[in-house]
Amino acid sequence: MPDFKGYFFGLADEEATEDSRTTLEGLEPLDEDGKATFDVTLTDVPSTTQLLNANITVRVQETGGRAVERSLTLPVKPAGAMIGIKPEFSGDLAENAVGKFHVIAIDQSGAKQDKSGLTWKLLRVEQDYQWYRDGTAWKYEPVTSTKQVSTDTLDVTTDGGEIAISAGWGRYRLEVETADIDGPTSSVEFDSGWYVTASSTETPDGLEVALDKQNYAVGDTAKLRVSPRFAGEVLVTIGSEKLIGTKTATIPADGGEVDIPITADFGAGAYVTTTLYRPGDAQESRMPMRSIGIKWLAVDPTDRKLSVKLDLPEKTLPRQTLNIPVEVTGAGVGEEAYVTVAAVDVGILNLTPT
C-alpha cells in the first residue's frame, strides 16, 4: 500500500493465483481532442490473503497501422481487515542479531485500528527432498517444511506494535494472525546470517553455498558457507578467464566454512565453484555422488568505478537541438570518457483514472 511503504500484507508462502482477465468491449471512439472516458468494473476477484492490483491495458491503433499500448495500475481495496508487518532492518539479518518488526492492523479502508490478542510465530524454513519409486526408477520432489522456534502474543494500537526476535543462521518466516476465525493473517520471510535460499537449487545435486559479503577488497578473506545435505569432501575452484586457485576441505553434515583470501588476481571478481563429494560408504545411496554450487565473488572496483549524471529537462520540443550536460565522476585526471545517449519514442497515449 502506498500509505504503508515497507509493510508486507498477506501470507508470504501463498501460492500465486491465476489472473482474472476481462476484455473491455464497446469502448467509445476518441473525440476530436483524442480523448475518451470509459468505466472499468471488477467482477471475478481472486481469493487471496495478499493485496491486489488491477492492471488496465488499452491499445489505440494509429491511422498508419501502428498500435500504441499503455497500462495503468490501480490498487484494489481489500475485502476486510489486514495485518501489516514491516522489518526494521534492510537486507539479511546478521546471525544471532536482534531483528525488530513493526506490526499494524488496518481496516478495509486502510485506517489503522487497535487489535489485541494477536499471535505471532517464528518458523525456521527448511527444504529437503522426498524420494519415491516410479516403476523401476527413483524420482524426487522438493519438500519445504517449517519448525517453530518461538511464539508469543502481541497487542497493537493505532501506533502499531513491535516484535523483537533473535535467529541463528538460516531462513525464517514470521507469521502474525488474529484469534478470530477467518481473521486476517500475514507473514514475512527473511534470511539470518549469509544464508542462501534453496530456490536456486531445486535438485538434490545442487549445493547451497553463500558468501559473507556482497563484495570484497584485495587483502580481505571471504568466508564461503557450505550447507550440504550430506557430509563429504569439498573442492573449491576459483577462476574467471583463468584458474586462480583451488582449496579442499572436509565438510560435516551440518555445514561448514571455507576461507578464501582475496588477491589482485581476482580482478573485478571471480566465480567460486564448490563441488561436494559424498563418501562411498554413505547410507543414503539414492543421494547423488556429488553436488555442485556456484557463486560470483565480486571485488569492489573502488577507484575504477564511473558514475554518470545527465541533467535533462522535463520536456523538449521537436526539430531543435537538445544540449544535454553530462557529468562523469571517477575518471582519472586527463583521461577520456565516452558516453552514448539514446532517445526513444514511447508514443503519445495517456491513461488517467477518475
pLDDT digits (tens, 9 = 90+) for 309-345: 998 888 888 888 888 898 888 877 788 888 888 877 6
| 137 touches 145 (CB < 8 A) | no
How many Cβ atoms are within 10 Å of 78's Cβ, its own excluded?
21
Longest dimension (CA), the chain: 82
Among 260, 281, 302, residue at a domain's last position: 302
What lies within 8 Å, CB to CB, of 200 at 6+ separation is: 206
CB 301 within 8 A of CB 260: no
Please give the pLDDT value at position 198.
43
In this predicted structure, what is the pLDDT of residue 199?
43
| DSSP-assigned states of every residue in 173-234 | EEEEE-SSTT--EEEEEEEESS---GGG--STTBPEEEESSSEE-TT-EEEEEEE-SS-EEE
Cα radius of gyration (the chain): 27
Determine, yes or no, domain membership for 208.
Answer: yes
Selection from 254, 295, 293 nearest residue 276 by Cα:
293
**CA count, 13 A, side-chain hemisphere, 180:** 11
Q: How many structural domains are present in the chain?
A: 2
Give yes or no: residues 181 and 90 share one domain: yes
The CATH code of the domain that includes 254 is: 2.60.40.1930
91 and 188 part of one domain = yes
Alpha carbon distances (Å) from 144 to 93, 112, 128, 265, 281? 21, 34, 6, 40, 28
Residue that terminates a domain, selected from 192, 211, 242: 192
CB atoms within 10 A of CB 186: 23
Do the domain assignments include residue 327?
A: no
In a shared domain, residues 155 and 253? no
Query: Are 97 and 177 found together in one domain?
Result: yes
Q: Nearest 5 degrees, angle CA 211-CA 212-CA 215?
A: 80
Please list the residues that pair with 72 across neighbouring strands: 56
Dihedral angle over CA of 313, 317, 319, 324, nearest 10: 0
Q: Beta partners for 248?
A: 235
In a domain, 103, yes or no: yes
Cα 271 to its chain centre, rounded Å, is: 22
| 287 and 264 together in one domain | yes
Mark whether 239 and 289 lie in a shared domain: yes
> Distance of CA 146 to CAs 38, 56, 126, 128, Å?
48, 38, 6, 11
Any domain includes 165: yes
What is the per-residue burial (b if ≥16 Cβ within 10 Å, else e) of 263-272? eeebeebbeb
289 and 220 assigned to the same domain: yes
User: Do the domain assignments include residue 281?
Assistant: yes
On whether both 255 and 179 belong to a single domain, the answer is no
Same domain, 91 and 150: yes
pLDDT at residue 337, rounded to an integer: 82
d(CA 38, CA 82): 31
Are 130 and 215 within one domain? no
| Residues 167, 226 within the same domain | no
What's the domain range around 127? Answer: 82-192
Indicate whether 298 belongs to any domain.
Answer: yes
Cα-based distances in Å from 294 to 250, 261, 308: 18, 17, 32
DSSP labels, 176-193: EE-SSTT--EEEEEEEES
| Residue 95 in domain | yes
Average pLDDT per consecutive 10 residues, the chain (354 residues; last block may be shorter): 90 79 83 88 81 88 80 88 92 82 92 93 85 82 87 93 88 91 90 59 76 88 88 93 93 90 92 88 63 91 83 86 87 81 69 65
Does 166 share its domain with 246?
no
Of the residues 302, 330, 346, which one is the last residue of a structural domain? Answer: 302
Query: For residue 137, what is the domain's CATH number?
Result: 2.60.40.640
Is the separation of the CB atoms in 95 and 89 below 8 Å? no
Assess if residue 168 is contained within a domain.
Answer: yes
